[in-house]
Amino acid sequence: MIQFDVDLAVIGSGFGGSLMAMIGQRLGLRTVLIDRASHPRFTIGESSSPVANMVLRDLIQRYSLNRIEAICQYASAEQMNPEATMGIKRGFSYFRHEAGQPFQPRDDRSNELLVPGNPDDQTADAHWLRADVDQFLFKQVRASSIATMERTDVTDVTHEDRWCVAGYHGEEPVRVWAEFVLDASGGTGVMLKSLGIPSSDDGLKTKSRTLYGHFTDVGSWYDAYREAGGRVENHPYRCDEAAVHHLIDGGWMWQLRFRNGVTSAGLVLDQDRHPYHPDRYPDEEWHLVVERYPTLAQQFKGARLHEATPHLIGTGRLQRIAERSAGAGWAGLPNVGGFVDPLHGTGIAQILAGIERLAAILEHSWGRDDLTDQLEAYSRTVRTETEFIDSLVHACYLTMDDFPRFASTSKLYFVASAMYEQRFREGRIRPEHAFLCADDEGLRDVVARIVERVTRDAQQPTEERSDPAEFDRWIEQQLEPYRQVSA
């Protein structure tokens, strides 16, 4: 039997688990990092953002993690860490496609939205090829002499006077005795399962599922846009050097290009509009959907699935929220506590914001009486964030078929994001504060009002809804007080 006796056991060595293991060690905790897989391994959740990079930089500075600084930006990653493949991300691009018709750029740009995230290539954010980035971080964990165990499946976690994390490394039983367990196992939610904590889609409004994979030889969207007569000189950045969202009927496709020629692409489908067929293979469904949109079909005509995903991966409903994500002596990263949808790519940033909060809790309350109270508060915050993101995303799904309204509704996310960024830079985000200012009562009221209106509008035929310009003015009016804050 393999045994460890530690202060902190971290389950899951994605970027979140590796960061927590390094921070734990910096805080003087004897730490072990355990994963059932071994690096490099494929995983999804690849698009970083200005907020993600800002929080990551802060963590690097606060906990002297200088060796990982390279991954904060595309340009520095290329120069300092060429082994970790990234893709340049200048912003968020959205294009609306019509079934049966090639994409037709419009002079008034009413079927597209480009939101810059940074001013130039030097300061650009990055898409993370997670196999590489997670492996890079895992190597840093090892280089810091933290104990690691790969190919070790955690099967149960129990508590007597300390935690006992039980699992297997091959055939060999493993027991880790720990004061604190940090669950970074993502959707597996090892601690939730071990402690019998329910996690379900209860109360979440977004209802989507996805099909995704890594491809090579995907045609360039930038070229397709130009060939269709689009004027790229009017764009604030090259439109495909971004998290590209192609909106279709009842869903959307993401496209993220990496510098090694691989493109991550996935269809995210509203489950009510595209019910799940258990007898349909994801590859088959992908073709059925993509073939309806000639410009997308053309882009994927010569594309092949990359060896990382020999077949497309299909999921059931993506949304889940756990009753709790922390308690006495344990905590889960935010994506253990819940997940909504890849729209706008909130995942990485939310996890980093959660890590910042957890690190502060461990730093200030380890061994003190208030530790459990702090963890309970963290758990409530994760729920608040998940519900808030659900509202933002749900509102966007309700307007997805009506692009000008979708563009107006998306402002909710960008304003919340800018507000969080500004408060963070001003040092006004304290450990108890939520990602995207989800705990700001006023902002939550505005979001609730907008969700109520778009829900009502969605029940009416398009021609009976108010004019998109009036709708946009109304949204601007709602967001006005928060724009001033974030100006």
List interacting residues with ligand FAD (CB under 6 A). Answer: 11-17, 34-37, 43-47, 153-154, 184-186, 188, 190, 210, 212, 266, 318, 333, 335, 342, 345, 347-348, 351
Q: Please state the closest distance from residue 457 (CB atom) to ligand FAD, in A.
A: 28
Beta bridge partners of 33: 10, 148
Peptide bond into 173 cis (omega under 30): no
Closer CB to ligand FAD, 264 or 408, in the complex: 264
3-state secondary structure of 128: strand
Rg of the chain, C-alpha, whole Å: 22
Q: Please state the closest distance from residue 19 (CB atom) to ligand FAD, in A.
A: 8
Is residue 263 a contact partner of residue 218, using CB atoms and an 8 Å limit?
yes
Closer CB to ligand FAD, 53 or 210, in the complex: 210
Closer CB to ligand FAD, 29 or 190, in the complex: 190
Q: Please state the closest distance from residue 303 (CB atom) to ligand FAD, in A.
A: 18
Q: Please state the closest distance from residue 88 (CB atom) to ligand FAD, in A.
A: 15
* Interior angle at CA 396, CA 420 and CA 351, nearest 5: 40
Which among 125, 135, 148, 187 has a CA at the least distance from the CA of 15? 135
Residue 220 carries which DSSP code?
P
Burial 130-160 (b: 16+ CB within 10 A, else e): bbbbbbbbbbbbeeeebbbbeebebeebeee
The pairing of strands 112-116 and 251-257 is: unpaired
3-state secondary structure of 291: coil
The encoded tokens of residue 476 equal: 């601007």
Which among 379, 352, 330 has a CA at the least distance from the CA of 17? 352
Give the end-to-end CA distance of the chain in Å, rounded to a whole number.
Answer: 58
CA dist 345 and 444 (Å) reads: 20
Closer CB to ligand FAD, 185 or 478, in the complex: 185
Q: Please state the closest distance from residue 152 (CB atom) to ligand FAD, in A.
A: 6
Q: Please state the closest distance from residue 165 (CB atom) to ligand FAD, in A.
A: 9
Q: Please state the closest distance from residue 336 (CB atom) to ligand FAD, in A.
A: 8
CA dist 288 and 281 (Å) reads: 11
Closer CB to ligand FAD, 357 or 453, in the complex: 357
Residue 43 carries which DSSP code?
-
Q: Please state the closest distance from residue 333 (CB atom) to ligand FAD, in A.
A: 5
Is residue 345 a contact partner of residue 395, using CB atoms and an 8 Å limit?
no
Which among 139, 144, 130, 186 has a CA at the least distance from the CA of 24? 144
The pairing of strands 172-183 and 2-11 is: parallel
Cα-based distances in Å from 462 to 248, 448, 455: 17, 22, 13
Q: Please state the closest distance from residue 246 (CB atom) to ligand FAD, in A.
A: 14
Closer CB to ligand FAD, 35 or 112, in the complex: 35
Q: How many CA atoms lie within 13 A of 93 on its CB side?
A: 24
Is residue 97 a contact partner of residue 293, using CB atoms and an 8 Å limit?
yes
Q: Please state the closest distance from residue 47 (CB atom) to ligand FAD, in A.
A: 3
Closer CB to ligand FAD, 266 or 282, in the complex: 266
The secondary structure of the chain in percent helix, strand, coil, rounded to multiples of 5, reads: 45, 25, 35
Closer CB to ligand FAD, 57 or 226, in the complex: 57
Closer CB to ligand FAD, 17 or 230, in the complex: 17
Q: Please state the closest distance from residue 175 (CB atom) to ligand FAD, in A.
A: 14
Closer CB to ligand FAD, 35 or 241, in the complex: 35
Helix H or strand E segment including 300: none
Q: Please state the closest distance from residue 43 (CB atom) to ligand FAD, in A.
A: 4
Closer CB to ligand FAD, 361 or 475, in the complex: 361
Q: Please state the closest distance from residue 240 (CB atom) to ligand FAD, in A.
A: 15
Closer CB to ligand FAD, 11 or 176, in the complex: 11
Closer CB to ligand FAD, 93 or 210, in the complex: 210
CA dist 472 and 405 (Å) reads: 7
Is residue 205 a contact partner of residue 345, using CB atoms and an 8 Å limit?
no
